[in-house]
Amino acid sequence: MNPVTPAQQSVLDYVQSFHLAKGMPPTRAEISQHFGWSSPTAAHQHLQSLERKGRVRILRGQSRGIRVIAETETLSLPKRTPIQQQAIWVRKIWDEDGVHSERFPEALTSLLNMIEGQS
Protein backbone atom coordinates (compact mmCIF):
# COMPACT_ATOMS: atom_id res chain seq x y z
CA MET A 1 0.00 0.00 0.00
CA ASN A 2 1.35 3.43 -0.90
CA PRO A 3 2.45 5.61 2.03
CA VAL A 4 0.35 8.64 2.91
CA THR A 5 1.44 12.11 3.96
CA PRO A 6 0.90 13.25 7.56
CA ALA A 7 -1.99 15.47 6.41
CA GLN A 8 -3.62 12.58 4.55
CA GLN A 9 -3.16 10.34 7.59
CA SER A 10 -4.88 12.98 9.74
CA VAL A 11 -7.83 13.05 7.33
CA LEU A 12 -7.98 9.25 7.25
CA ASP A 13 -7.89 9.04 11.06
CA TYR A 14 -10.63 11.66 11.30
CA VAL A 15 -12.86 9.84 8.79
CA GLN A 16 -12.41 6.57 10.71
CA SER A 17 -13.05 8.07 14.16
CA PHE A 18 -16.04 10.10 12.91
CA HIS A 19 -17.57 6.99 11.32
CA LEU A 20 -16.97 4.95 14.46
CA ALA A 21 -18.52 7.63 16.69
CA LYS A 22 -21.50 8.61 14.52
CA GLY A 23 -22.16 5.49 12.46
CA MET A 24 -21.65 7.31 9.16
CA PRO A 25 -18.73 8.95 7.39
CA PRO A 26 -18.31 12.72 7.47
CA THR A 27 -19.13 15.01 4.58
CA ARG A 28 -16.38 16.95 2.87
CA ALA A 29 -17.71 20.10 4.55
CA GLU A 30 -17.45 18.44 7.98
CA ILE A 31 -13.86 17.38 7.26
CA SER A 32 -12.99 20.92 6.14
CA GLN A 33 -14.61 22.43 9.21
CA HIS A 34 -12.75 20.03 11.52
CA PHE A 35 -9.38 20.99 10.04
CA GLY A 36 -10.21 24.70 9.70
CA TRP A 37 -10.05 24.72 5.91
CA SER A 38 -12.08 27.41 4.17
CA SER A 39 -13.46 25.13 1.46
CA PRO A 40 -14.56 21.50 1.09
CA THR A 41 -12.28 21.37 -1.96
CA ALA A 42 -9.25 20.80 0.28
CA ALA A 43 -10.95 17.81 1.90
CA HIS A 44 -11.94 16.49 -1.52
CA GLN A 45 -8.34 16.74 -2.77
CA HIS A 46 -7.05 14.80 0.25
CA LEU A 47 -9.75 12.16 -0.25
CA GLN A 48 -8.86 11.81 -3.94
CA SER A 49 -5.22 11.28 -3.00
CA LEU A 50 -6.23 8.69 -0.42
CA GLU A 51 -8.35 6.94 -3.05
CA ARG A 52 -5.43 6.84 -5.50
CA LYS A 53 -3.30 5.31 -2.73
CA GLY A 54 -5.90 2.63 -2.06
CA ARG A 55 -6.92 3.81 1.40
CA VAL A 56 -10.51 4.93 0.72
CA ARG A 57 -13.19 4.44 -1.87
CA ILE A 58 -15.23 7.48 -2.87
CA LEU A 59 -18.80 6.70 -3.86
CA ARG A 60 -19.70 9.27 -6.49
CA GLY A 61 -22.86 11.31 -6.03
CA GLN A 62 -23.16 10.64 -2.30
CA SER A 63 -22.61 13.33 0.30
CA ARG A 64 -21.24 10.82 2.79
CA GLY A 65 -19.82 8.46 0.20
CA ILE A 66 -16.45 7.76 1.80
CA ARG A 67 -15.48 4.17 2.60
CA VAL A 68 -12.22 3.34 4.34
CA ILE A 69 -10.67 0.32 2.65
CA ALA A 70 -8.05 -0.62 5.25
CA GLU A 71 -7.41 0.40 8.82
CA THR A 72 -4.12 2.23 9.23
CA GLU A 73 -1.37 1.24 11.58
CA THR A 74 -1.37 4.55 13.45
CA LEU A 75 -4.99 4.47 14.59
CA SER A 76 -5.67 1.77 17.14
CA LEU A 77 -9.37 1.05 17.12
CA PRO A 78 -10.98 -1.00 19.88
CA LYS A 79 -11.56 -4.67 19.14
CA ARG A 80 -15.06 -5.22 17.79
CA THR A 81 -17.53 -7.63 19.32
CA PRO A 82 -19.24 -10.20 17.07
CA ILE A 83 -22.43 -8.11 17.18
CA GLN A 84 -20.51 -5.00 16.06
CA GLN A 85 -18.89 -6.99 13.25
CA GLN A 86 -22.30 -8.28 12.14
CA ALA A 87 -23.74 -4.75 12.28
CA ILE A 88 -20.88 -3.52 10.09
CA TRP A 89 -21.64 -6.33 7.61
CA VAL A 90 -25.33 -5.34 7.53
CA ARG A 91 -24.35 -1.69 6.97
CA LYS A 92 -21.97 -2.71 4.16
CA ILE A 93 -24.71 -4.65 2.37
CA TRP A 94 -27.11 -1.70 2.83
CA ASP A 95 -24.53 0.72 1.40
CA GLU A 96 -23.58 -1.49 -1.54
CA ASP A 97 -26.88 -3.13 -2.52
CA GLY A 98 -29.66 -1.32 -0.67
CA VAL A 99 -32.51 -2.71 1.40
CA HIS A 100 -33.84 -4.75 -1.54
CA SER A 101 -30.69 -6.85 -1.71
CA GLU A 102 -31.19 -10.60 -1.57
CA ARG A 103 -28.45 -10.69 1.10
CA PHE A 104 -30.03 -8.05 3.34
CA PRO A 105 -32.78 -10.10 5.08
CA GLU A 106 -30.32 -12.88 5.93
CA ALA A 107 -27.75 -10.43 7.32
CA LEU A 108 -30.33 -8.51 9.34
CA THR A 109 -31.92 -11.68 10.73
CA SER A 110 -28.51 -12.95 11.79
CA LEU A 111 -27.76 -9.65 13.55
CA LEU A 112 -31.11 -9.64 15.37
CA ASN A 113 -30.57 -13.24 16.48
CA MET A 114 -27.18 -12.33 17.88
CA ILE A 115 -28.64 -9.37 19.77
CA GLU A 116 -31.48 -11.48 21.19
CA GLY A 117 -28.95 -14.06 22.35
CA GLN A 118 -27.13 -11.33 24.31
CA SER A 119 -30.27 -10.21 26.18
- CA-to-CA distance for 58 and 60, rounded, in angstroms? 6
DSSP 67: E
Instruction: Please indicate, yes or no, if residue 1 is contained in any of the structural domains.
Output: no
Domain ranges, residue 52? 6-68
Tell me the whole-structure pTM to 2 decimals.
Answer: 0.58
In a domain, 77, yes or no: no
Q: Total structural domains in the chain? A: 2
The radius of gyration of the chain from alpha carbons, rounded to an integer in Å, stands at 16
Q: Domain holding 40: CATH number? A: 1.10.10.10
Q: Report the C-alpha gap between 62 and 55 in whole angstroms.
A: 18
* 103: exposed, middle or buried (Cβ count in 10 Å: 0-12, 13-18, 19+): middle
Provide the residue-wise pLDDT of the chain in tens; the chain has 119 residues. Answer: 678 899 999 999 999 989 888 889 999 999 999 999 999 999 999 999 998 988 888 888 888 889 888 554 445 556 667 777 777 777 776 676 665 667 667 777 777 777 777 64
The Cβ-side half-sphere exposure at 59, using a 13 Å CA radius, reads: 15
